[in-house]
Structure 1
Protein backbone atom coordinates (compact mmCIF):
# COMPACT_ATOMS: atom_id res chain seq x y z
CA UNK A 1 0.00 0.00 0.00
CA UNK A 2 3.00 2.38 -0.09
CA UNK A 3 2.82 5.48 -2.22
CA UNK A 4 6.10 4.57 -3.84
CA UNK A 5 8.24 1.42 -3.69
CA UNK A 6 11.94 0.64 -3.82
CA UNK A 7 13.48 -2.80 -3.90
CA UNK A 8 15.12 -3.98 -0.66
CA UNK A 9 18.70 -2.99 0.02
CA UNK A 10 20.37 -0.05 1.68
CA UNK A 11 21.59 2.79 -0.42
CA UNK A 12 19.22 2.36 -3.33
CA UNK A 13 17.28 5.50 -4.03
CA UNK A 14 14.18 6.23 -6.00
CA UNK A 15 12.34 9.48 -6.32
CA UNK A 16 8.57 9.56 -6.28
CA UNK A 17 6.95 11.13 -9.27
CA UNK A 18 4.87 14.16 -8.65
CA UNK A 19 1.40 13.33 -9.78
CA UNK A 20 -1.76 15.11 -8.84
CA UNK A 21 -0.38 17.42 -6.19
CA UNK A 22 -0.78 20.41 -8.44
CA UNK A 23 -4.51 19.66 -8.71
CA UNK A 24 -4.91 20.50 -5.03
CA UNK A 25 -7.17 23.42 -4.48
CA UNK A 26 -8.31 23.62 -8.07
CA UNK A 27 -11.99 23.61 -8.86
CA UNK A 28 -12.93 24.95 -5.43
CA UNK A 29 -16.54 25.91 -5.17
CA UNK A 30 -19.10 27.07 -2.70
CA UNK A 31 -20.06 24.37 -0.22
CA UNK A 32 -23.72 23.43 -0.73
CA UNK A 33 -26.02 24.11 2.25
CA UNK A 34 -26.13 21.22 4.69
CA UNK A 35 -23.03 19.51 3.37
CA UNK A 36 -20.53 18.10 5.82
CA UNK A 37 -16.83 18.86 6.15
CA UNK A 38 -14.05 16.39 5.63
CA UNK A 39 -15.74 13.69 7.68
CA UNK A 40 -17.03 10.37 6.44
CA UNK A 41 -15.32 7.23 5.22
CA UNK A 42 -16.28 7.61 1.56
CA UNK A 43 -13.53 7.07 -0.96
CA UNK A 44 -14.59 10.14 -2.95
CA UNK A 45 -16.46 13.24 -1.92
CA UNK A 46 -19.61 14.14 -3.89
CA UNK A 47 -19.25 16.76 -6.56
CA UNK A 48 -19.95 20.27 -5.39
CA UNK A 49 -20.79 22.82 -8.02
CA UNK A 50 -20.92 26.55 -7.72
CA UNK A 51 -19.23 29.72 -8.78
CA UNK A 52 -15.50 29.45 -8.18
CA UNK A 53 -13.49 32.37 -6.99
CA UNK A 54 -16.07 33.69 -4.57
CA UNK A 55 -14.79 35.04 -1.29
CA UNK A 56 -16.24 35.19 2.18
CA UNK A 57 -18.27 38.23 3.09
CA UNK A 58 -19.34 39.10 6.64
CA UNK A 59 -22.80 37.74 7.21
CA UNK A 60 -22.72 35.79 3.96
CA UNK A 61 -22.39 32.05 3.29
CA UNK A 62 -19.13 30.22 3.81
CA UNK A 63 -17.25 29.83 0.56
CA UNK A 64 -14.09 28.19 -0.66
CA UNK A 65 -10.92 30.11 -1.28
CA UNK A 66 -9.15 29.35 -4.54
CA UNK A 67 -5.35 29.54 -4.51
CA UNK A 68 -3.52 31.76 -6.94
CA UNK A 69 -1.09 29.77 -9.06
CA UNK A 70 2.60 30.52 -8.70
CA UNK A 71 2.30 32.13 -5.28
CA UNK A 72 5.18 31.68 -2.83
CA UNK A 73 3.98 32.76 0.60
CA UNK A 74 6.20 32.98 3.64
CA UNK A 75 4.85 31.10 6.63
CA UNK A 76 5.43 32.34 10.19
CA UNK A 77 8.60 31.05 11.76
CA UNK A 78 8.82 29.43 15.18
CA UNK A 79 9.49 26.12 16.88
CA UNK A 80 7.65 24.03 14.31
CA UNK A 81 8.57 20.41 13.52
CA UNK A 82 8.79 21.20 9.80
CA UNK A 83 11.09 24.20 10.37
CA UNK A 84 13.59 23.12 13.03
CA UNK A 85 16.34 25.41 14.16
CA UNK A 86 19.66 23.86 13.19
CA UNK A 87 19.47 20.12 12.63
CA UNK A 88 16.69 18.32 10.78
CA UNK A 89 13.95 16.60 12.78
CA UNK A 90 13.37 12.88 12.23
CA UNK A 91 9.83 11.58 12.59
CA UNK A 92 9.49 7.96 13.68
CA UNK A 93 6.39 5.85 13.08
CA UNK A 94 6.01 2.20 14.09
CA UNK A 95 3.36 -0.07 12.58
CA UNK A 96 2.51 -3.63 13.63
CA UNK A 97 0.05 -6.02 12.04
CA UNK A 98 -2.39 -7.09 14.76
CA UNK A 99 -4.51 -9.51 12.74
CA UNK A 100 -6.00 -9.75 9.28
CA UNK A 101 -5.25 -6.39 7.68
CA UNK A 102 -5.59 -4.37 10.89
CA UNK A 103 -2.46 -2.35 11.72
CA UNK A 104 -1.58 -0.64 15.00
CA UNK A 105 0.39 2.55 14.40
CA UNK A 106 2.29 4.27 17.21
CA UNK A 107 4.19 7.51 17.58
CA UNK A 108 5.23 8.44 21.10
CA UNK A 109 2.06 8.54 23.20
CA UNK A 110 -0.22 8.43 20.17
CA UNK A 111 -1.81 5.22 18.89
CA UNK A 112 -4.16 4.80 15.94
CA UNK A 113 -5.41 2.07 13.61
CA UNK A 114 -5.30 1.47 9.88
CA UNK A 115 -7.23 -1.19 7.98
CA UNK A 116 -8.84 -1.99 4.67
CA UNK A 117 -12.58 -1.84 3.98
CA UNK A 118 -14.53 -5.07 4.00
CA UNK A 119 -14.88 -5.10 0.21
CA UNK A 120 -11.06 -5.15 -0.02
CA UNK A 121 -10.60 -8.03 2.41
CA UNK A 122 -10.30 -6.02 5.64
CA UNK A 123 -12.52 -5.43 8.65
CA UNK A 124 -12.84 -1.65 8.30
CA UNK A 125 -11.54 -0.96 11.81
CA UNK A 126 -9.78 2.20 10.67
CA UNK A 127 -9.00 4.34 7.63
CA UNK A 128 -6.99 2.79 4.83
CA UNK A 129 -3.46 4.03 4.02
CA UNK A 130 -4.62 6.41 1.28
CA UNK A 131 -7.16 7.93 3.65
CA UNK A 132 -4.47 8.38 6.27
CA UNK A 133 -2.31 10.14 3.70
CA UNK A 134 -5.12 12.49 2.70
CA UNK A 135 -5.97 12.98 6.36
CA UNK A 136 -2.40 14.06 7.08
CA UNK A 137 -2.59 16.55 4.20
CA UNK A 138 -5.94 17.92 5.36
CA UNK A 139 -4.80 18.23 8.98
CA UNK A 140 -1.60 19.98 7.94
CA UNK A 141 -3.61 22.46 5.87
CA UNK A 142 -5.90 23.27 8.81
CA UNK A 143 -2.98 23.66 11.22
CA UNK A 144 -0.99 25.84 8.83
CA UNK A 145 -3.90 28.24 8.31
CA UNK A 146 -4.61 28.34 12.05
CA UNK A 147 -0.98 29.08 12.96
CA UNK A 148 -0.70 31.72 10.28
CA UNK A 149 -3.85 33.51 11.45
CA UNK A 150 -2.67 33.28 15.06
CA UNK A 151 0.69 34.74 14.07
CA UNK A 152 -0.99 37.61 12.22
CA UNK A 153 -3.75 38.15 14.76
CA UNK A 154 -6.41 37.61 12.11
CA UNK A 155 -10.04 36.73 13.05
CA UNK A 156 -10.16 33.06 12.04
CA UNK A 157 -13.39 31.23 12.94
CA UNK A 158 -12.90 27.82 11.34
CA UNK A 159 -11.07 25.83 8.67
CA UNK A 160 -12.59 22.84 6.89
CA UNK A 161 -10.74 20.81 4.26
CA UNK A 162 -11.83 18.08 1.85
CA UNK A 163 -9.46 15.94 -0.21
CA UNK A 164 -10.24 13.12 -2.63
CA UNK A 165 -8.22 10.79 -4.83
CA UNK A 166 -9.41 9.08 -7.97
CA UNK A 167 -7.56 5.77 -8.07
CA UNK A 168 -9.82 2.73 -8.00
CA UNK A 169 -9.12 0.64 -4.92
CA UNK A 170 -8.88 -2.59 -6.94
CA UNK A 171 -5.77 -1.28 -8.72
CA UNK A 172 -3.75 -0.71 -5.55
CA UNK A 173 -2.12 -4.10 -5.11
CA UNK A 174 -1.33 -4.40 -8.80
CA UNK A 175 0.30 -0.96 -8.75
CA UNK A 176 2.51 -1.99 -5.84
CA UNK A 177 4.49 -4.22 -8.22
CA UNK A 178 5.07 -1.37 -10.65
CA UNK A 179 7.26 1.43 -9.30
CA UNK A 180 6.21 3.78 -12.09
CA UNK A 181 2.56 3.57 -11.03
CA UNK A 182 2.80 3.30 -7.25
CA UNK A 183 1.43 6.78 -6.58
CA UNK A 184 -1.83 8.62 -6.18
CA UNK A 185 -3.07 9.32 -9.67
CA UNK A 186 -4.90 12.53 -8.88
CA UNK A 187 -5.62 14.43 -5.69
CA UNK A 188 -8.13 17.26 -5.49
CA UNK A 189 -8.96 19.49 -2.57
CA UNK A 190 -11.34 22.15 -1.32
CA UNK A 191 -10.41 24.46 1.53
CA UNK A 192 -13.08 26.44 3.38
CA UNK A 193 -11.86 29.25 5.63
CA UNK A 194 -14.30 31.16 7.84
CA UNK A 195 -13.55 34.57 9.29
CA UNK A 196 -14.24 38.27 8.96
CA UNK A 197 -11.31 38.96 6.61
CA UNK A 198 -10.62 41.95 4.42
CA UNK A 199 -9.65 41.54 0.76
CA UNK A 200 -5.91 41.56 1.41
CA UNK A 201 -6.18 38.93 4.16
CA UNK A 202 -8.43 36.80 2.01
CA UNK A 203 -5.97 36.85 -0.88
CA UNK A 204 -3.09 35.91 1.40
CA UNK A 205 -5.00 32.97 2.89
CA UNK A 206 -5.73 31.69 -0.60
CA UNK A 207 -1.97 31.32 -1.01
CA UNK A 208 -1.21 29.96 2.44
CA UNK A 209 -3.91 27.27 2.27
CA UNK A 210 -2.01 25.27 -0.37
CA UNK A 211 1.49 25.78 1.02
CA UNK A 212 1.44 23.60 4.12
CA UNK A 213 4.56 21.46 4.77
CA UNK A 214 2.89 18.15 3.86
CA UNK A 215 1.55 19.62 0.63
CA UNK A 216 5.01 20.85 -0.32
CA UNK A 217 6.56 17.47 0.54
CA UNK A 218 4.13 15.63 -1.73
CA UNK A 219 4.47 18.23 -4.46
CA UNK A 220 8.25 18.11 -4.73
CA UNK A 221 8.49 14.32 -4.43
CA UNK A 222 9.90 11.96 -1.82
CA UNK A 223 13.24 10.14 -1.82
CA UNK A 224 13.23 6.63 -0.35
CA UNK A 225 16.76 6.33 0.99
CA UNK A 226 17.57 2.70 1.69
CA UNK A 227 14.59 0.66 2.83
CA UNK A 228 15.71 -2.44 4.73
CA UNK A 229 13.51 -5.52 4.51
CA UNK A 230 14.28 -8.42 6.86
CA UNK A 231 12.55 -11.73 6.13
CA UNK A 232 12.67 -14.85 8.30
Structure 2
Protein backbone atom coordinates (compact mmCIF):
# COMPACT_ATOMS: atom_id res chain seq x y z
CA UNK A 1 0.00 0.00 0.00
CA UNK A 2 1.35 3.46 -0.80
CA UNK A 3 1.91 5.88 2.06
CA UNK A 4 -0.75 8.50 2.70
CA UNK A 5 0.16 12.09 3.41
CA UNK A 6 -2.16 13.99 5.73
CA UNK A 7 -1.88 17.76 5.26
CA UNK A 8 -3.24 20.80 7.01
CA UNK A 9 -2.61 24.49 6.41
CA UNK A 10 -2.87 27.12 9.10
CA UNK A 11 -3.03 30.87 9.46
CA UNK A 12 -2.48 32.44 12.85
CA UNK A 13 -3.32 35.82 14.32
CA UNK A 14 -2.31 36.31 17.90
CA UNK A 15 -3.14 33.15 19.86
CA UNK A 16 -5.82 32.06 17.39
CA UNK A 17 -4.98 29.57 14.65
CA UNK A 18 -7.37 28.78 11.80
CA UNK A 19 -6.54 25.35 10.45
CA UNK A 20 -7.77 23.89 7.16
CA UNK A 21 -7.89 20.15 6.72
CA UNK A 22 -9.28 19.21 3.34
CA UNK A 23 -12.66 21.02 3.21
CA UNK A 24 -12.89 21.69 6.95
CA UNK A 25 -11.86 24.55 9.19
CA UNK A 26 -10.84 24.18 12.81
CA UNK A 27 -10.16 27.08 15.15
CA UNK A 28 -7.61 26.63 17.91
CA UNK A 29 -7.28 29.36 20.52
CA UNK A 30 -6.53 30.00 24.17
CA UNK A 31 -8.76 31.46 26.87
CA UNK A 32 -8.32 35.16 27.78
CA UNK A 33 -6.18 34.22 30.80
CA UNK A 34 -3.60 32.86 28.33
CA UNK A 35 -3.88 35.82 25.95
CA UNK A 36 -6.45 34.37 23.55
CA UNK A 37 -10.08 35.13 22.77
CA UNK A 38 -11.48 31.64 23.49
CA UNK A 39 -12.83 31.21 19.94
CA UNK A 40 -11.85 27.54 19.86
CA UNK A 41 -10.42 24.69 21.88
CA UNK A 42 -6.84 25.07 23.07
CA UNK A 43 -4.14 22.88 21.48
CA UNK A 44 -4.12 20.24 24.22
CA UNK A 45 -7.92 20.06 24.20
CA UNK A 46 -7.74 19.66 20.43
CA UNK A 47 -5.28 16.78 20.86
CA UNK A 48 -7.65 15.02 23.28
CA UNK A 49 -10.50 15.64 20.81
CA UNK A 50 -8.41 14.02 18.09
CA UNK A 51 -7.85 11.05 20.39
CA UNK A 52 -11.60 10.62 20.91
CA UNK A 53 -12.29 10.89 17.20
CA UNK A 54 -9.51 8.49 16.27
CA UNK A 55 -10.51 5.92 18.88
CA UNK A 56 -14.09 6.08 17.58
CA UNK A 57 -13.07 5.60 13.94
CA UNK A 58 -10.75 2.69 14.70
CA UNK A 59 -13.29 1.08 17.09
CA UNK A 60 -15.90 1.14 14.32
CA UNK A 61 -13.44 -0.45 11.89
CA UNK A 62 -12.44 -3.13 14.43
CA UNK A 63 -16.09 -3.80 15.37
CA UNK A 64 -16.90 -4.67 11.76
CA UNK A 65 -13.88 -6.96 11.54
CA UNK A 66 -14.69 -8.90 14.72
CA UNK A 67 -18.48 -8.86 14.23
CA UNK A 68 -19.03 -6.69 17.33
CA UNK A 69 -22.39 -4.98 17.92
CA UNK A 70 -21.12 -1.41 18.37
CA UNK A 71 -24.04 1.00 18.70
CA UNK A 72 -22.18 4.02 20.06
CA UNK A 73 -19.31 5.14 22.31
CA UNK A 74 -19.34 8.02 24.77
CA UNK A 75 -15.87 9.32 25.70
CA UNK A 76 -14.72 11.32 28.72
CA UNK A 77 -10.98 11.89 28.26
CA UNK A 78 -8.82 13.73 30.77
CA UNK A 79 -5.22 14.75 30.33
CA UNK A 80 -2.90 15.72 33.18
CA UNK A 81 0.17 17.89 32.64
CA UNK A 82 2.45 20.19 34.60
CA UNK A 83 2.15 23.71 33.09
CA UNK A 84 5.69 24.59 34.16
CA UNK A 85 6.93 22.71 31.07
CA UNK A 86 5.09 24.84 28.54
CA UNK A 87 6.02 27.94 30.55
CA UNK A 88 9.70 27.20 29.93
CA UNK A 89 10.96 24.97 32.75
CA UNK A 90 13.44 22.65 30.95
CA UNK A 91 13.13 20.04 33.70
CA UNK A 92 9.39 19.48 33.08
CA UNK A 93 8.08 18.01 29.85
CA UNK A 94 5.56 20.34 28.19
CA UNK A 95 3.00 17.68 27.29
CA UNK A 96 0.67 15.27 29.06
CA UNK A 97 2.06 13.03 31.76
CA UNK A 98 -1.16 11.01 31.97
CA UNK A 99 -4.29 10.60 29.85
CA UNK A 100 -7.31 8.72 31.16
CA UNK A 101 -9.80 7.48 28.57
CA UNK A 102 -13.20 6.65 30.01
CA UNK A 103 -15.44 5.12 27.36
CA UNK A 104 -19.01 3.90 27.72
CA UNK A 105 -19.75 1.45 24.93
CA UNK A 106 -23.39 0.95 24.00
CA UNK A 107 -23.62 -2.66 22.87
CA UNK A 108 -25.33 -6.00 23.40
CA UNK A 109 -21.89 -7.61 23.77
CA UNK A 110 -20.30 -8.83 27.04
CA UNK A 111 -17.77 -6.87 29.13
CA UNK A 112 -15.09 -9.29 27.88
CA UNK A 113 -15.90 -8.38 24.29
CA UNK A 114 -15.81 -4.68 25.18
CA UNK A 115 -12.27 -5.21 26.53
CA UNK A 116 -11.32 -7.03 23.32
CA UNK A 117 -12.62 -4.08 21.28
CA UNK A 118 -10.67 -1.62 23.45
CA UNK A 119 -7.40 -3.56 23.21
CA UNK A 120 -7.59 -4.01 19.45
CA UNK A 121 -8.58 -0.36 18.98
CA UNK A 122 -5.72 0.96 21.11
CA UNK A 123 -3.18 -1.11 19.17
CA UNK A 124 -4.27 0.47 15.88
CA UNK A 125 -5.28 4.03 16.79
CA UNK A 126 -2.62 6.42 15.40
CA UNK A 127 -3.28 9.13 18.00
CA UNK A 128 -3.26 6.66 20.93
CA UNK A 129 -0.06 4.99 19.75
CA UNK A 130 1.61 8.37 19.18
CA UNK A 131 0.88 9.36 22.78
CA UNK A 132 2.10 5.96 23.95
CA UNK A 133 5.36 6.41 21.99
CA UNK A 134 5.82 9.76 23.77
CA UNK A 135 5.73 7.86 27.07
CA UNK A 136 2.40 9.31 28.15
CA UNK A 137 0.79 7.16 30.85
CA UNK A 138 -2.40 6.01 29.09
CA UNK A 139 -5.21 4.64 31.24
CA UNK A 140 -8.04 3.14 29.16
CA UNK A 141 -11.28 2.42 31.03
CA UNK A 142 -13.81 1.02 28.57
CA UNK A 143 -17.06 -0.32 30.03
CA UNK A 144 -20.40 -1.48 28.72
CA UNK A 145 -22.95 1.34 28.91
TM-score between the two structures when normalised by the length of structure 2: 0.79
More moved, 147-156 vs 120-129: 147-156
Q: Which has the higher strand share?
A: 2
**Counterpart pick for 2:70 among 156, 165, 190:** 156
1:218 is aligned to 131
- Could you tell me which residue of structure 1 aligns to residue 116 of structure 2? 204
Match of 1:121 among 14, 31, 35: 35
User: 2:138 matched to which residue of 1?
Assistant: none
Bigger Rg, structure 1 or 2: 1
Q: Cα distance 1:180–1:120, how it changes in 2: closer, same or farther (>3 A)?
A: closer
Q: How does 1:61-100 map to 2 (within 5 A)?
A: 85=1, 87-97=2-12, 99-100=13-14
Distance 2:71 2:114 in 1: 13
Aligned residues: 134
**Is the CA contact 2:59–2:117 (under 8 Å) kept in the aligned structure 1?**
yes
Higher helix share: 2
- The CA RMSD over aligned residues, in Å, is 2.4
The SS at the match of 1:173 is: coil
Find the aligned partners of 1:210 and 1:126 in 2 and give their Cα distance.
27
DSSP-derived class of the 2:77 partner:
strand
1:139 to 46, 49, 53: 53
Cα distance between partner residues in 2 of 1:169 and 1:90: 32
Q: Give unpaired runs (5+ residues) of structure 2.
A: 136-145
Structure 1 partner of 2:106: 194
Q: Does 1:181 align with 2:103?
A: no
Task: Give the drift of 1:169.
Answer: 4.7
